[in-house]
Every structure is written in structure tokens, then in C-alpha cells.
A and B are shown apart, each in its own frame.
Chain A
Amino acid sequence: MNQMIAEADFVNATADKHAQGNPMLPLAASGLRFAINGRALVDVEALDIQPGMPTVIMGPNGAGKSLLLRLLHGLIVPSSGSITWAGKPAGKNIQHNQAMVFQRPVLLRRSVAANIDYALKVHGITRSERQPRVETWLEKADLKPLARQPARTLSGGEQQRLSLARALAVEPQILFLDEPTASLDPVSTQAIETLIRDASDRGTKIIMVTHDPGQAKRLAGEVIFIHRGEISEKTPAKTFFKSPSSEQARAFLSGGLLI
């Protein structure tokens, strides 16, 4: 019950911010195909992502969720098709405003604070500006007491919190997350979800892969369901969980093994 009230507040509080829009959006992809040896692993005819609450990508293992995320972020080059951000093709400037958090956090062999500092530095932020920002994000991610510790000695949950704080520290307009809580305990998961919600609140567009329906219910504004590299449906979250329009999503949600 509390959760539902919190969600309702969250929707009201963030509606204004989202209405202001995000200069990077809408994101439009058309004829997006990624194939290896002629086999299409991602084949998206058309995709359109608007400002607003988080867009959550769901689907069974091997459906191409992570690949789609990487294509959108520009980490891999599509075999064919195009991606545009607010009408402009992806380029250096566009990528500058994006960040990504991976399923397994990749932490530099440096201290916790130095990890955040590095991300800010390569983002082109001056030294004098970096220090207060590092402090802010250590605080937000509840990592302040661990600031001087080597990052790779943190626990799994702390590592992912650092990885998320590091991504958010550059204040991206778009944040991609690839199953950020896949192997985390509930407390760590909650901390991550709070950070994600805060970011969304401040107008960062969240595009996130998860295969935890509970997490999707808690965070998603809309759900994109992928099966075998193709989009089965793209539906507002409420509708998706009540009455998904595609056969595949119905089978997935009812706990069937979707083949």
C-alpha cells in the first residue's frame, strides 16, 4: 500500500519535470538490424522513445535486450538501419550526454573517489569543479566512508552503487542500465532503485533492461517487450502488467517458458 502511495507521489512530482522535455529526445530507430553471420540478433522495424518515466526493456534471456541497449548507446554499430536523437544522428555530442551502467560493474583499479573523479575528468570537467561533485555523489550513493578504499574491494552492492553514482555524476540526459541489480540482494537493489528514481525525477531519461517483473512494475513508465530480437509490444507499464497485448508477453508474465 505504502509502495503504491509512494508511486503515485512520484508520478505527480515528476510529471512537471518530464513535461519540460529532454533535449535528446525523442529517440527514433528505424530498420535497426544487428546480424552476425547473416543471423539477425536484433531486428527492430521502428522504435520511438519519448521523454517521461523510465522505459524498461523486458524479454527472456537471449532475446537481444542487452544488444539493443548497446546499439542505442552506440557501443556497437548496427548492420543496417538508423538511430536519431531529437532528429539528429548519433555522434560525439550525443554520446557525451549519455551514460551506461553495466550488469557487472567495471570499476577502475583506483579508489572509490578516484572512480567518480575519472568519469568527470574524461567528461571534460575541470579539476576545481570535480571535487565538490565527487563529494556530492559519494554522499548520495552512501559511499563517503569508503571514499579512499580501493574500488574493487567493495561488496557487489557497493560496487554497483558506485558504478551508478559514477554514471550519474556526469549528469547525463540519457542513462542506460543493463540489468543493474541482476545479482544483488534486496537492500542493495532498493538503494539502486532509489538512485534511479531520483535521476528520473530530475529529468534524466532512464532506458533500462531487466528481467525482474517486480522491478519493472516498480520503476517503469512503459515497457518494451522483446522476443528473438524483435519488439513484440511497447505498452504503458500499467497496461502491460494488466493485459499485455502480445502473446509472447502474456506467456512470459504468466511464468511460462517462452521459446
Chain B
Amino acid sequence: MHNFASSFIYAAQLLLSGDPELWAIVLLSLKVSLSAVGIAALIGMPLGAALAVARFPGRGAAVILVNSLMGLPPVVVGLLVYLLLSNAGPLGVLQLLYTPGAMIFAQVVLVTPIIAALTRQVIEDLDSEYSEQLRSFGVSRLKSVPTLLWDARYSLLTALLAGFGRAVAEVGAVIIVGGNINHVTRVMTTTIALETSKGNLSLALALGFILIGIAIAVNAALGMLKSTAARSAYA
């Protein structure tokens, strides 16, 4: 019990003292996950929107596939990306393994289906409202994708934040392809895993608090954005 309480106190001290090691880890986490979400959005949003408006045989199967990829287990993604990036793998020449680049790569694979699937749903709903008017304007289904993406911008933020939440909180993929190397590829989740197994609970706890804080901040931001959007009837 004594240990438990002192871990909390020490964790608070770490947070308040601005411990450089701790903040380096936090920064790397944010850098990796934000980059991954940015890249995943560039791929997943147009993909999801195209899937929402396109009509082709096998579309139903494609939608099911993307939806199921939302639940990809991070360790499996880590393993597959590891195989791709390892020296013997097809992307071995990139020499990305055990770098932040590899971690971004793995998180992109993890997050893209989430963003694509959520985008598909949002755009399909908006398209059912817009499609006749857009056809009347002479805008074809595929050409309507940028319009739909822009007009769904507030709803799509939800998809981005869901992707970010997934990326910043996962440990399985980044620990395999990043290796949890101190000062190089150590992020919040991998540090928590490592420090807990070493018995250094206070650093793990401090990072845990930050992760939870990020989750709360992200959701608060989302709530504020949604009410802004509702006020202007943009949602």
C-alpha cells in the first residue's frame, strides 16, 4: 500500500518537474502517432469516400473487408511490417527497422482502415442527401468526392480522432518494429510496458496519466468542435 501511494507521488513529481527523459518520450509518441494519422488520413479518406460513392461489383465485399480491418490486432500488424522491413523482406533496402519511420509505417497500416471505414460511413450518409443535387449540377459520382469530403469535414474529425486514439494507445505494433530503444524508439506505451516489468512503477504511472490526459483532451476538443459545427448546422 505504501509502495502504491509513493508511486503516485513520485509520478506527480516527474510530471511537474518537467523531467526531460519523460517529455522526450511523450514528444516522440505524439510525433509518431500524429504523422501516422496524417498519412493514414491522406490514404484512408479518399479511399473511404470513393468506396462510399462508387458502384462496382464486389463493393459489398470491399466494405466488409475494410470494416473488418478496423479490428486488426496491433501485434499482427507489427509482425507483418517487421517481415516487410527486415533485411530479407521486400522493403529491407529502406533500412527502416527499429527507427521511428518503421513505427509510423506500422501505425499507418493500423489506422488507415479505421479512417477509411469511418469515412465511408460518414460520406455514404452525406451522399444520400447530396447525390441528386450534385448529379443535377453535372458532378459525377467520383468527382463529387472532394465536395463530400469537404462538406463532411466536421464529422470526419471524429474519424481522425478515433484513428489517433488507436495509434497513440497501441503497444503491440510499435514495440515489434521499433524495438523500444532508449532515446530512439521509446514511446509512451512501450515505456509503460518496459518500466512496469522492471518494477519502475512511477515512470510508468506518470506516462499512463499523460496518456489518459491526452484521451480526455482529445474528447473534449471533439465535443467542442461538434457543438461549433451544430451551431452552424454544418454537422
Contact = CB atoms under 8 A, between A and B. Distances in A.
B133 A102 contact: yes
Contacts, number: 43
Nearest to B235: A109
B136 A150 contact: no
A108 B132 contact: no
Interface string A29-71: 0000000000000000000000000000000000000000010
A106 B151 CA distance: 12
A150 B232 contact: yes
A106 B232 contact: no
Contact of B233 (A73, A96, A152): A152
Contact of B136 (A99, A108, A153): A99
Interface residues of B, number: 17
A109 B138 contact: no
A120 to B, nearest CB: 10
Nearest to A97: B138
Contacts of A119: 137
B225 to A, nearest CB: 14
A133 to B, nearest CB: 15
Contacts of B232: 150, 152-153
Interface string B102-130: 00000000000000000000000000011
A75 interface: yes
A188 interface: no
Given A92-B138, A95-B138, A123-B138, A106 B234 contact: no
A75 B136 CA distance: 7
Nearest to B126: A109
B129 A106 contact: yes
Contact of B132 (A75, A92, A95): A75
A254 B147 CA distance: 47
Given A109-B151, A150-B232, A75 B139 contact: no
B135 interface: yes
Contacts of B133: 102, 106
Contacts of B137: 118-119, 122-123
Interface in A94-131: 95-96, 98-100, 102, 106, 108-110, 118-119, 122-123
Interface string B194-218: 0000000000000000000000000
B234 A109 contact: yes
Interface in B120-162: 129-130, 132-133, 135-139, 147, 151-154
B55 to A, nearest CB: 13
Interface of A: 70, 73, 75, 92, 95-96, 98-100, 102, 106, 108-110, 118-119, 122-123, 150, 152-153
16 contacts: A75-B135, A92-B138, A96-B138, A106-B129, A106-B132, A106-B133, A108-B130, A108-B147, A108-B151, A109-B233, A110-B151, A118-B137, A118-B147, A122-B137, A152-B234, A153-B233
The 6 tightest CB contacts between A and B, nearest first, are: A152-B233, A106-B133, A150-B232, A109-B234, A109-B151, A100-B136
Given A102-B133, A150-B233, 17 more contacts: A73-B136, A75-B136, A95-B138, A98-B136, A102-B132, A106-B129, A106-B133, A108-B151, A109-B151, A109-B152, A109-B233, A119-B137, A122-B138, A123-B137, A123-B138, A150-B234, A152-B233
